[in-house]
Structure 1
Amino acid sequence: MVEYMRIGKIVNTQGIKGEVRVIPLTEDINRFDDLNFVFLDDEKLVKLEIEQVKYHKNFVLIKFMGYDDMSKSETLKDNYILIDRANAIKLPKGSYFVSDLINLSVYEKDVFLGKIIDILTTGSNDVYIVKDKDREILIPALKSVVKEININEGKMEVELPEGLME
C-alpha cells in the first residue's frame, strides 16, 4: 500500500502573485478545499502549506505560503502534488484507490495471470490492464469478474468470462 498518493500536477504559474496552475488527478476536484498542506514530489518530499485554493476552468489554482511571486513559484512547475494516506478521502466499502490496485498480482483459480499495470476508465466500468512477461489481458472491473481484492496481500482473484483469454 502506497503511503503518498498523487492528486495533482503543477503545470504552470498563474499570474504574478505566486499562484500555480494544477491539473487535478482526482475524481473530486473540490477535495483540494479540505487540505491545509500537501507534499511536493521533488526528488525528496517537501511539505507545502496551502494559503488559498481557487478553480478556473479545469484547473486548480493554488497559492502556497512563502511563494509570493511568479519567479519563486516557477520552481514548483512540473512537480506532482501528493497527500499522505491520513488526508486521503474515505472511500466507500468495495472502492479502492488506483495507486493501491496498480501492481496487484492477479490470479484465476491459483493460476497467475500477471500484474495490474494500468487502469482504463470507460463509460460503464473500469478495465484493468494485466500484464505478464508474454501477454496483456484486459479484465473488466465487474463484480461478476473480480471475486476478491486483498490489498494487504497484494492479490486479486478473478473469474474470467469464457472466451476472454482466447
Structure 2
Amino acid sequence: MSELYNVGKIVNTQGLKGEVRVISRTDFPDERYKKGASLLLIQEGKAPIELIVASHRKHKNFDILSFEGMSSINDVEKFREGILKITADQLQDLPENEFYLHEIVGLSVQSEDGELLGKIKEVLSPGANDVWVIQRPKQKDLLIPYIEPVVKKVDLEHQMVTIHLLEGLID
C-alpha cells in the first residue's frame, strides 16, 4: 500500500443520521471532505475501510461528515477514534515555498556557513508563522521561525535546509 497521510480524526458521532465529528488535520478541508471524495478509515487492528464523503459542513471547531450508504448513527458509531487518511496520489501540489509536514520533518539543518545544526523533529504552528524544532546533539532543541530572513533554502532532494542564524536564535 502506498504511503498514507492523516487528514483528520473521527472523535464522535453527530446526531442520529450517520454524521461524524472530525478534528481536521488538513489545510484543505474543502478539497478533502467534498462530496464524492475518497477517504481511508484506519483503526487499530482492523483492515482499512474506504469511505466516500456524502456531505460536509462546519460546526464549531469540527468538520461534520457523512458517508455514502451510512444514514444512521448505528452505521458510524464503530468509526469513533478512527483516523481518516488519504493516499500519496491524492496530495496536491503546493505553491512554491510551501511544504507538507512529512516533507520537512527529518530534514537536516545547516547554517549558511555549512555548520550542521541538527534535524527537524517537529513543526509547531503557534501563530502567524510555523516554528521548526531542530533537535541538536547534546544540546537543547533550537526553535527557528519559518520566515524568509531565517530559512534560506529547502532542498528536498538532498534532505537539507539552510538557515541564516539571526542574532539571538542560538543562546
Answer yes or no: same fold by TM over 0.5.
yes
TM-score (norm 2): 0.83
Measure the CA separation in 2 of the matches of 1:103 and 1:34: 34
TM-score (norm 1): 0.85
* % same residue: 32
Q: Which amino acid counterpart does residue 137 of structure 1 have in structure 2?
A: L
- Is the counterpart of residue 128 in structure 1 residue 129 in structure 2? no
Match runs of 1:1-166 below 5 Å: 3-31=3-31, 32-33=33-34, 36-43=37-44, 45-108=48-111, 109-134=113-138, 135-166=140-171
Secondary structure of residue in 2 paired with 1:153: coil
Secondary structure of residue in 2 paired with 1:33: coil
Q: Which amino acid counterpart does residue 136 of structure 1 have in structure 2?
A: D
Uncovered stretches (5+) of structure 1, i.e. residues with no partner: none
Uncovered stretches (5+) of structure 2, i.e. residues with no partner: none
Q: Which runs of 4+ in 1 moved over 4 A?
A: none
Calculate the aligned-residue CA RMSD, in Å.
2.2
- The size of the alignment, in residue pairs, is 165
Q: Which amino acid counterpart does residue 80 of structure 2 have in structure 1?
A: K
Q: Which amino acid counterpart does residue 41 of structure 2 have in structure 1?
A: L
Report if the CA contact (8 A) 2:52-2:67 is conserved. yes
Show CA shifts across 1:109-150 (max 9, x none).
333222212222243322111113422000111222112112
Structure 1 stretch 90-99 or stretch 115-124: which is displaced more? 115-124
